[in-house]
Structure 1
């Protein structure tokens, strides 16, 4: 059991580092960003489950702060936007048992559904916290005439939709080519 735990921690560290590196390549649209780092995080969550996923997201958030990738305007905002929000991305792992069962039974349709559901859950959970900080800390950047809540909803809502679609498609392509990457012992 301890050997498996060590394996999960090592894998988590590698995945968090990969997510950070991928995040260094910003892809931004008009009023939203695409979190490409969520691709390896969600893959890990589907392989190891939500508990390990939360730990990995937390590492990703801490790496982002420590290595200078964080946008900082207030200490509370930093905590909510990085360790907390990124950890919540780990909730993508809630779907892991269902995906692993669909994979074992060879049900491609269910597997596709669970990959997108997992991606949506993790992305929505993460951007919920970004929405909160958007209201309380980033609202001053709202266009004139927009309420801070609406501004944060539009910006973060767009990020949820686009990140879910792009990450979900990337994970689906990966699943079709290397299904074994999605099967692991849930932690």
Structure 2
């Protein structure tokens, strides 16, 4: 197997497992969801290997979360909440070219902007999937008289927005203080 491909697969496995572990640490919400750094390893891989590296890492993380005690109502809900939601975090890599260009120029401000925008995009896609799942599968949790869409929007925002902000801050600190981590040798 080609050395770069082996390195990618090893990093996907290791960072996917770290994402799973980080998902176990954090503030758990009463009805599911939690504020954690689980997106951090996925975003790191998206900025090291691009969208596919990030998406593979997200998929591994989602599979591990599902297998190790995920909440399942039916196969479609499980696929959305675990496979699709975490895989889409890897789309953060959409700003990789911008990040690498900023790194080459030594422009840390532009690096941070690329990281934050990429992380917000990946995090928003995960949030969108959880929002849709909340409307379709968890409508019974909505308080009496409150529209289900509003309940899902607010409930998922309560943990997703802080998680996105945390991932963006830590990733920005990591790559601006140690930009060599973006290099694949």
Same fold (TM over 0.5): yes
Give 1:25 shift: 0.9
Q: Secondary structure at the match of 1:120?
A: helix
* Equivalent position of 1:4 in the other structure: 4
* Equivalent position of 1:183 in the other structure: 183
Q: Is 1:40–2:30 an aligned residue pair?
A: no
1:147-158 paired onto structure 2 within 5 Å: 147-158=147-158
1:76-95 paired onto structure 2 within 5 Å: 76-95=76-95
30 and 81 in structure 1: CA distance in 2 versus 1, 3 angstrom threshold? closer
1:14-163 paired onto structure 2 within 5 Å: 14-28=14-28, 33-68=34-69, 70-163=70-163
CA distance in 1, matches of 2:75, 2:94: 30
Give 1:157 shift: 2.7
Give 1:13 shift: 0.5
CA distance in 1, matches of 2:149, 2:161: 18
Give 1:158 shift: 3.3
6 and 147 in structure 1: CA distance in 2 versus 1, 3 angstrom threshold? same
Q: Is 1:166–2:166 an aligned residue pair?
A: yes
Which ranges in structure 1 are unaligned for 5 or more consecutive residues?
Answer: none
Q: Work out whether residues 111 and 176 of structure 2, in 8 Å CA contact, stay in contact via their aligned partners in 1.
A: no
CA distance in 1, matches of 2:176, 2:107: 12
CA distance in 2, matches of 1:113, 1:80: 29
Give 1:130 shift: 0.7
CA distance in 2, matches of 1:22, 1:107: 30
Aligned length: 184
Q: Work out whether residues 57 and 86 of structure 1, in 8 Å CA contact, stay in contact via their aligned partners in 2.
A: yes
CA distance in 1, matches of 2:30, 2:183: 36
Q: Secondary structure at the match of 1:81?
A: helix
Q: Work out whether residues 19 and 41 of structure 1, in 8 Å CA contact, stay in contact via their aligned partners in 2.
A: yes
**1:55-101 CA distances to partner (integer Å, 9 max, x unpaired)?**
11111111111122x11122210011001111111101111111011
TM-score (structure 2 length as normaliser): 0.92
C-alpha RMSD of matched pairs (Å): 1.9
CA distance in 2, matches of 1:184, 1:124: 27
